[in-house]
Amino acid sequence: MSAVTASAPATELPTTAFLAKHLRENLWFYLVLIAGGVLMVAPFVWMVSTALKPAADQFTRDLIPRQITFENFGKAWELMEFQHLVWNSFRIAALSTIGQVVTCSMGAFVFAIVRFKGRDLLFLVLLATLMVPYQMTVIPQFIIFKTFGLYGTDVPLYLPSFLGGAFGVFLLRQYFRTIPLELLEAARLDGASLFRIYWSIYLPLAKPALAALAIFAFMSSWNDLFSALIYLPSDLEKTTLPVGLALFQRLYRAQWALMMAAVIISIAPIIVAFFFAQKQFIQGFAATGIK
Amino acid sequence: MSQIGVSPRGAERFWVIVLLLPTLLGLALGAFGSIAATIGISLFQWDLLSPAKWVGFDNYLALPENRNFLKALGNTALFSVIYVPATLSISLVVAVLLNQRIRGVSLFRLIYFIPVVTSPTAVGLVWTWIYSKDKGVLNAIITTFGGDPVHWLGSDMALYSVVIVNVWGAIGEGMIIFLGGLQAIPRDVYEAATIDGASRFQQFLAVTIPMLLPSIFFQAVLCTIHAFQAFDYVYILTQTGNGGSSLPMLVFNIYREGFNYFRMGNASAQSVVLAVIVLGLTLIYSRLNKRWGQQG
């Protein structure tokens, strides 16, 4: 960590000599990071490469396909009737996201600004549930949903999201705490109800944190294999993308070009969203580290 | 924690209850009710068709003789022993490198983070293709250099192959947590160390590691929980034609017992064992954190 690089103003264009010195001093850092980065993206590169190859070429080892085709995407879409899988995944993820954003923001608002007896203890208890493995809760929930005849429907996949959650409440409470209490006091003097304050002051001001939670909730639901596996019938019209892909693997064994196209179809929405909203994606994960 | 905020008056109490209701319901039903129920169900024999039958601790007593359970427990333990230190150390190194004054930090961060956001089921399929015995690219590379093809996902190698994928998928998350911790270390601590003539590596050992210990322990707890709950990659990479797995782990076993065979008591007992192990490890970590963390 040299003081020279540390104090160089960011706006000034670096000279060649400066860059050369910087590279010399940090060469090993760059080499290790680049080598690691190649390992991180290699599977994705190979996925795209395979998906663009005609079926006859799928076993060639060329990184750049000799002949590029997009037919695998159309074929995979037809075989798997992806419109059902995508719609099911989207519907469930959207409902889960709404549930999380609404109920976590409600809870977080109370924990952030309302003083009541036992609040901090209750909050600690809520945080402690983050450490509970989900296997400890899934069996009774399964039995309850089955008893109410909801087994085989998508209700068990989004309904739990409407009961708040430690992660979302924690994330939003941190953010709500940064909003000056004077705003709240002024609104109270004007006779605004707590709900009004929550709805018209806190929610609009917390948009970045709400976006981070929404993205996190949507992604978790979109990628969730376990719940769909236990609650939904293994039927391409009724299930979600992750289970659909697992079925694809069994049905079209060794049709790798098709399979890679199917994988790309299923991860594309999240990848595109990630490139546009990188900050919000990472913020959600970073929040778990702040204590 | 200080009591920041306002005390509710009159009608405000009503809104406090309404706003808090979903969270309270979630805590009561989703968390505590379910935990209590899981423990309760573990004392019964229940297939959901006939009435539940009280069997006391029989479900637990049968576990040491249940070969599938022992196998799954052994696999999960070995998986964790490799996964946790590997994930922690690699993501720590990446975070420390990214915390240097280098260019392209946001690009590197983006690249290392992609596997965290993509569906493990989908990406797991890409890895089955890479690991494929006959035509997979990994064996192609090995045979090019004169080696013998490896049966990566067969029962001998599956554990190691699957751990690699899980570590690969988790580096980005650890990196983000550690970067947060590193950025909280004041710059002048390093500047003082530089003036004292400490090399970058000495600074890493004497400044970075001690100041980062709380983050490291926290991440160790998260990684351990992840290791004991590993399911998606395991399921996709090792599923066999008959619905079994070439690498049965605890969660897979619970899934099979509970949701394929509907042996709810047995599955609950295994869940309780899993939770007790995770809780025990968490307590050990927090003890270690208290002892070492305060010396630093």
CATH for B220: 1.10.3720.10
- Return the residue in A26, A151, A163, A220 with the most chain B beta carbons within 10 A, the one to mutate for interface testing: A163
DSSP B187: H
Q: How far apart are CA B123 and CA A267, in angstroms?
A: 8
Mean pLDDT computed over A133-145: 93
What residues of B are in contact with residue A142 (Cβ under 8 Å)?
Answer: 258-259
- pLDDT category of residue A17 using cuts at 50, 70 and 90: confident
Q: How far is CA B217 from the centre of its chain?
A: 13
Sorted by sequence, the CB contacts under 8 Å of residue A54 that are 6+ apart come out as A65, A67, A69, A71, A257
Distance (Å) from the alpha carbon of B284 to chain A's nearest alpha carbon: 14
The answer to whether position B106 is within a domain reads yes
Find, among B27, B179, B117, B177, the residue nearest to A130 by Cα: B27
Sorted by sequence, the CB contacts under 8 Å of residue B40 that are 6+ apart come out as none
CB burial class (10 A; 0-12, 13-18, 19+) of residue B266? buried
* Residue B201 confidence (pLDDT): 85
Quick: pLDDT tens for A256-274. Answer: 999 999 999 999 999 999 9
DSSP B87: H
What residues of B are in contact with residue A29 (Cβ under 8 Å)?
Answer: 97, 100, 102
Give the largest Cα separation in chain A, rounded.
74
Amino acid at B94: V
The answer to whether position B55 is within a domain reads no
Quick: pLDDT tens for B178-204. Answer: 999 998 888 888 888 888 888 888 888
Nearest to A29 among B97, B137, B275 (CB): B97
ipTM of the modeled complex? 0.92
Span between the terminal Cα atoms of chain B, in Å: 24
Contact B22 A263 (CB under 8 A): no
DSSP B249: -
Mean pLDDT computed over B118-130: 96
Beta strands in A121-220 (DSSP E): none
Chain A / chain B CB contacts < 8 angstroms: 308
Q: Which residue has the higher pLDDT, B155 or A15?
A: B155
* Structural contact between residues B33 and B44, judged by C-beta atoms closer than 8 angstroms: no
Quick: pLDDT tens for A197-233. Answer: 999 999 999 999 999 999 999 999 999 999 999 999 9
B96: nearest CA in chain A? A29
Q: Quote the tokens at residue B230.
A: 């590993």
B21-56 per-residue burial string, b: 16 or more CB within 10 A, e: under 16 = bbbbebbebbbebbbebbbebbbbbbeeeeebeebe
Nearest to B137 among A46, A120, A131 (CB): A46
Q: How far apart are CA A150 and CA A139, in angstroms?
A: 14
What residues of B are in contact with residue A254 (Cβ under 8 Å)?
Answer: 132, 135
Find, among B281, B221, A186, the residue nearest to B213 by Cα: B221
The answer on pLDDT for A12 being more than 90 is no
Distance (Å) from the alpha carbon of A219 to chain B's nearest alpha carbon: 7
- Return the residue in B101, B106, B232, B284 with the most chain A beta carbons within 10 A, the one to mutate for interface testing: B101
Quick: pLDDT tens for A171-199. Answer: 999 999 999 999 999 999 999 999 999 99
* Residue A268 confidence (pLDDT): 96
Q: How far apart are CA A169 and CA A109, in angstroms?
A: 8
Q: How far apart are CA B166 and CA B115, in angstroms?
A: 10
What residues of A are in contact with residue B228 (Cβ under 8 Å)?
Answer: 133
Q: How far apart are CA A268 and CA A91, in angstroms?
A: 17
* Residue B6 confidence (pLDDT): 87
How many domains, chain B? 1
Quick: pLDDT tens for B127-156. Answer: 999 999 888 999 999 999 999 999 999 989
For residue A228, how many C-alpha atoms fall within 13 Å in the half-sphere facing its CB?
27
Kindly report the backbone phi and psi dihedral angles of residue A30, in degrees, each rounded to the nearest multiple of 5, phi listed first.
-65, -45
Nearest to B15 among A32, A194, A262 (CB): A194
The answer to whether position B140 is within a domain reads yes
* Residue A285 confidence (pLDDT): 83
Mean pLDDT computed over B12-22: 95
Output the CA–CA distances (angstroms, integers) from residue B73 to B77, B154, B248, in the order listed. 6, 19, 9
Q: Write down the number of H helices and E strands in chain B.
A: 14, 2
DSSP A159-180: GGGGG--HHHHHHHHHHHTTS-
The answer on pLDDT for A5 being more than 50 is no
* Residue B294 confidence (pLDDT): 58
Give the CA radius of gyration of chain A: 25
* Structural contact between residues B266 and B118, judged by C-beta atoms closer than 8 angstroms: no
* Residue A8 confidence (pLDDT): 45
Three-class SS of B47-64: CCCCCCEECCCHHHHHHH
Superfamily name and number for A75-287: MetI-like (1.10.3720.10)
Q: How far apart are CA B211 and CA A2, in angstroms?
A: 21
Find, among B178, B17, B174, the residue nearest to B96 by Cα: B178
pTM (2 decimals)? 0.92
A165-188 per-residue burial string, b: 16 or more CB within 10 A, e: under 16 = bbbbbbbbbebbeeeeeeebeebb
* Residue A254 confidence (pLDDT): 83
Contact A29 B48 (CB under 8 A): no
Distance (Å) from the alpha carbon of B122 to chain A's nearest alpha carbon: 5
The answer on pLDDT for A7 being more than 50 is no
- Return the residue in A13, A114, A171 with the most chain B beta carbons within 10 A, the one to mutate for interface testing: A114
Quick: pLDDT tens for A68-95. Answer: 999 999 999 999 999 999 999 999 999 9
- pLDDT category of residue B84 using cuts at 50, 70 and 90: very high
The answer to whether position B19 is within a domain reads no
- pLDDT category of residue B57 using cuts at 50, 70 and 90: very high
Q: Report the SS3 class of residue A118.
A: coil
Contact B119 A194 (CB under 8 A): no
- pLDDT category of residue B102 using cuts at 50, 70 and 90: confident
Nearest to A37 among B112, B129, B203 (CB): B112
What residues of A are in contact with residue B106 (Cβ under 8 Å)?
Answer: 278
Q: Which residues, in sequence order, are bridge partners of residue B54?
A: B44
Structural domain of residue B136, as residue ranges?
60-293
The answer on pLDDT for B35 being more than 60 is yes
Quick: pLDDT tens for B222-246. Answer: 999 999 999 999 999 998 877 788 8
Contact A135 B254 (CB under 8 A): yes
Mean pLDDT computed over B84-108: 93
Nearest to B122 among A126, A267, A289 (CB): A267
What residues of A are in contact with residue B97 (Cβ under 8 Å)?
Answer: 29, 32-33
Identify the weakest region by mean pLDDT among B81-85, B136-140, B250-254, B290-294.
B290-294
* Residue B229 confidence (pLDDT): 93
Mean pLDDT computed over B202-222: 90
Identify the weakest region by mean pLDDT among A110-114, A281-285, B33-37, B69-73.
A281-285
Q: How far apart are CA B252 and CA A159, in angstroms?
A: 24
DSSP B65: G
* Residue A11 confidence (pLDDT): 53
What residues of B are in contact with residue A22 (Cβ under 8 Å)?
Answer: 103
